[in-house]
Amino acid sequence: MWDPLLFVEVLIGGLLSGIMYSIVALGFVLIFKASGVFNFAQGALVLFAALTFVLMLEVTGDFWNWTGGLSIGFAGLAGLLFLLNRKLLLNDANRFLNIKVLAFSAAILVAIVLAIFIQGGHNMWRGVFIALLLFLGLTVGIRKPNAAAAVLLGVAIIALFAGEINFWRSLVLTLVVMIVLGIAIEAVVLRPLVNQEPIILFMATIGLNFVIEGMAQGVWDADVHGLDIGIEDIPFEVAGVYISQFDIFVAVAAALMVGTIAIFFNKTRIGRALRAVADDHQAAMSVGIPLKNIWAIVWAASGIVALFAGLMWGSKLGVQFSLALLAFKALPVLILGGFTSIPGAIVGGLIVGATEKIFEVFVGIPYLGGGTENWSPYMLALIFLLFRPQGLFGERIIERV
């Protein structure tokens, strides 16, 4: 029962759903490229981002009044950080001051936590979590006071003036949460393990995966939440082929995001530094690239990519714990595309998406009883490994003997 129209429809549907895999795989590639760490926790980050966003949307009333106060606090902190930076140079030689600033920020945190408890009616862990994020944000901010001040000010303004438009306010706040979380993971989990074997770093990210999943459950909850980003999943017809409107939207958004990342990597000073760090750490340090900042930027970027993936997948499947398992679907994509290549992640995702759908429709359902989508990508990856282990776009490793 060969039907070319059906084939085209399945192919297009497969390619479009492949883009969904690509955006998950992209988060892996970013970190692997720059630091050689296979970040097992990327799936958990996707889940965490989606949950945070959804619950910020759902929470209303008191919470937002409280954030109104918070945004004023943010603005105040921003000004303070900025002033500190103008007046005093914060560096290693000036440790006493760092301790003072830390003590000061700790005091603010205690105040915020108290405020949350006094407010009452909210999940205690949620308050503690927000306080922790703030604390981490502040300690990061002490290293880069001007940047932190700018970000805080931006958040404060948006939180105050976004008014009733919950969507954008939640988006910006979640974005900040993901950036802070990314930077914090780098600083707390991975930096102490610098120069360790890759397998140790990998194990650390496995641990991290469960911590984030658990934290997401503790801070928010384990229910399935619907997520509506305002794009209806209605198919439209082009020349007899039905195409999902939502998938097209995802494809366009993903293209924009990948374009931005590509420009960032290839055309900017930071991008050049990123590529240098990805290639050789020692050499990068010797030309004056601060490794820690670069890694922080990469983790922040992967946090942003995780948010994007979380929004897309969350609105497709609902926000639930199975989102964390997306990491496994990204594996065949990475094997096909190569762990170090951004175009590889895109092409790999397209291939995986297209083949699994075509295989399911033309082989799986008629002959194998369906359900092949769960394993066919891994089969493809396995076959691929036999012939081209470095992936389509991966760097070929040639050892000189």
Partner 1 sequence: MNDTASYLSIKDIHLHFGGIRAIQGVGFDVRKSEVFSIIGPNGAGKTSMINVISGFYRPTQGQIQFDGVDRTHYRPEQVARLGFARTFQNIALFRGMSTLDNIMTGRLLKMKQNFLSNAFYLGRSQREEMEHREYVEHIIDFLEIQAIRKIPVGRLPYGLQKRVELARAIAMEPKVLLLDEPMAGMNLEEKEDMARFILDVNDEWGTTMLLIEHDMSVVMDLSDKVMVMDYGEKIAQGTPDEVRVDPVVIRAYLGDT
The residues of the shown chain that bind partner 1, judged by CB under 8 A, are: 92-93, 263-264, 267-270, 272-273, 275-276, 279-280, 282-291, 395
Shortest distance (Å) from residue 267 CB to partner 1: 6
Is the CB of residue 45 less than 8 Å from the CB of residue 302? yes
Shortest distance (Å) from residue 91 CB to partner 1: 9
Tell me whether residue 85 or residue 355 sits nearer to partner 1 (CB atom).
85
Shortest distance (Å) from residue 396 CB to partner 1: 11
Question: The tokens 């393990």 sit on which residue?
Answer: 193
Tell me whether residue 60 or residue 282 sits nearer to partner 1 (CB atom).
282
Q: How many CB atoms lie within 10 A of CB 82?
A: 17
Tell me whether residue 88 or residue 382 sits nearer to partner 1 (CB atom).
88
Q: How many CB atoms lie within 10 A of CB 188?
A: 12
Shortest distance (Å) from residue 31 CB to partner 1: 17
Burial label for 304, CB within 10 Å (0-12, 13-18, 19+), is buried
What tokens does 203 get? Answer: 């194990």
Shortest distance (Å) from residue 147 CB to partner 1: 11
Tell me whether residue 87 or residue 396 sits nearer to partner 1 (CB atom).
396
E strands of 116-171, at which residues? none
Tell me whether residue 60 or residue 286 sits nearer to partner 1 (CB atom).
286
Residues 159-172 as b or e (16 or more Cβ within 10 Å = b) = bbebeeeeeebbbb
Is the CB of residue 355 less than 8 Å from the CB of residue 14? yes
Rounded to a whole number of angstroms, the CA Rg of the chain reads: 23
Compute φ and ψ for 71, nearest 5 degrees: -65, -35
Is the CB of residue 162 less than 8 Å from the CB of residue 168? yes
Question: The tokens 């459950």 sit on which residue?
Answer: 217
Tell me whether residue 240 or residue 288 sits nearer to partner 1 (CB atom).
288
List CB contacts of 175: < 8 A, sequence separation 6 or more. Answer: 304, 307
Shortest distance (Å) from residue 275 CB to partner 1: 7
Shortest distance (Å) from residue 151 CB to partner 1: 14
Tell me whether residue 108 or residue 276 sits nearer to partner 1 (CB atom).
276
Tell me whether residue 87 or residue 267 sits nearer to partner 1 (CB atom).
267
Tell me whether residue 181 or residue 274 sits nearer to partner 1 (CB atom).
274
Shortest distance (Å) from residue 286 CB to partner 1: 5
Residues 100-131 as b or e (16 or more Cβ within 10 Å = b) = ebeeebeebbeebbeebeeeeeeeeebbbbbb
Shortest distance (Å) from residue 175 CB to partner 1: 16
Cα separation, 318 vs 263, whole angstroms: 32
Q: Which long-range contacts (CB under 8 A, 24 or more apart) does 360-364 make?
A: 361/6, 361/10, 362/7, 362/10
Identity of residue 61: G
Cα separation, 328 vs 341, whole angstroms: 18
Is the CB of residue 229 less than 8 Å from the CB of residue 53? no
Shortest distance (Å) from residue 334 CB to partner 1: 18
Tell me whether residue 234 or residue 398 sits nearer to partner 1 (CB atom).
398
